[in-house]
Chain A
Amino acid sequence: MLFPSFAFLVFLPLVFLGYWYAFAKNLRLQNIFLLVASYLFYGWWDWRFLGLLFFSSVADFLIGLAIDRAPTIRTKRRWVALSVLINLSLLGTFKYFNFFVDGMHDLLATVGLQPNLPLLRILLPVGISFYTFQSLSYTIDIRRGSIKATHDPIAFLAFVSFFPQLVAGPIERATNLLPQFLTPRQFDRGSAVDGLRQMLWGFFKKLVVADTCGVLANEAFAGDVSATPGISLFFGVFFFAFQIYGDFSGYSDIAIGCARLFGIRLSQNFATPYFSRSISEFWRRWHISLSTWFRDYVYMPLGGWRTKWGRLRNILITFAVSGLWHGANWTFIVWGVLHGLFYVPEILRNGKARRDVASLRDLPSMLWTFTLVLVAWVFFRSATVRTAFAYLYYMVANAFLHPGALLKWLARPEFGWVLVLLVVEWLARKQEHALERLPGSVVLRWAIYLLITLVLLLYIDLSVPNEFIYFQF
Chain B
Amino acid sequence: MSSSTSSSEPLRLLIRVLLFCSIPITILGAAYRWGPHASRIDYMGAVAMKHARLDALPSPKVIIIGGSNAAFGIDSERLEKALCMPVVNMSIHASLGFRFMVEEVKGSIGRGDLVIVALEHSCYSKSTKDNDLHILTADRYLGALHYMPWYQRPKVVVGIAVMRMQGRWKELSGAWKDDSLDPVYRANGFNAQGDVISHLDRPPREASRQQAVDFFEPYIGEEFDPLVRALAVEVNTHGGELVFTWPSIAKSSFRSTFHQAMRDGLRESGFEIIGRTEDYVYPDTLFYDTHYHLNAKGRQVRTTQLIRDLCASAQVHCCVGPGSVP
Contact = CB atoms under 8 A, between A and B. Distances in A.
Interface of A: 6, 13, 16-17, 20-21, 24, 121, 186-194, 196, 446, 449-450, 453-454, 457-458, 460, 462-463
B17 interface: yes
A188 B3 contact: yes
B201 interface: no
Interface in B233-254: none
B1 A20 contact: no
Contact of A189 (B4, B7, B23, B159): B4
Given A454-B24, A463-B131, A6 B158 contact: yes
Contacts of B14: 13, 16-17
Interface in B1-16: 1-7, 9-14
B318 interface: no
Interface in B164-186: 165-166, 169
17 contacts: A6-B155, A16-B14, A17-B11, A20-B10, A20-B11, A24-B7, A186-B5, A187-B6, A189-B2, A190-B3, A193-B13, A446-B20, A450-B20, A457-B162, A462-B159, A463-B131, A463-B132
B27 interface: yes
Interface string B18-47: 001001100110000000000000000000
Given A6-B155, A196-B17, A462-B135, A188 B4 contact: yes
Given A6-B154, A462-B162, A192 B13 contact: yes
Contacts of B12: 189
Given A446-B20, A457-B162, A458-B166, A21 B1 contact: no
A75 to B, nearest CB: 44
Nearest to A121: B217
A453 B27 CA distance: 11
B20 to A, nearest CB: 6
Nearest to A462: B132
A193 B7 CA distance: 16
In terms of DSSP, what is the predominant structure of the interface of chain B? helix
Contacts of B7: 20-21, 24
B21 to A, nearest CB: 8
Contacts of B158: 6
Given A6-B154, A457-B165, A462-B162, A189 B13 contact: yes
Name which of B4, B10, B158 has the most chain A CB atoms within 10 A of its CB. B10
B1 A187 contact: no
Nearest to B156: A6
B2 A187 contact: no
Contacts of A187: 4-6, 9-10
Contacts of A193: 13
Nearest to A453: B24
Contacts of B4: 186-189
Nearest to B39: A463
Contacts of A188: 1-4
Chain B interface residue count: which class? 20 to 34
B163 interface: yes
A24 B132 CA distance: 39
Contacts, number: 72
A444 to B, nearest CB: 14
Interface string B252-271: 00000000000000000000
A48 B23 CA distance: 40
B139 to A, nearest CB: 11
A453 B6 CA distance: 29
Given A187-B6, A458-B166, A462-B159, 15 more contacts: A6-B154, A20-B10, A21-B10, A21-B11, A188-B1, A189-B12, A190-B2, A191-B1, A194-B1, A450-B23, A453-B24, A454-B27, A457-B165, A458-B169, A462-B163
B204 to A, nearest CB: 22
Contact of A457 (B5, B11, B24): B24
Contacts of B163: 462
A449 B10 CA distance: 20
A449 B17 CA distance: 11
Contacts of A16: 10, 14
Contact of B1 (A6, A190, A454): A190
Contacts of B27: 454, 457
A454 B23 CA distance: 10
A16 B18 CA distance: 13
B154 A460 contact: no
Nearest to B3: A188
Contacts of B165: 457-458
Contacts of B1: 188-191, 194
A439 to B, nearest CB: 16
A193 B9 CA distance: 11
Contact of A186 (B3, B135, B155, B217): B3
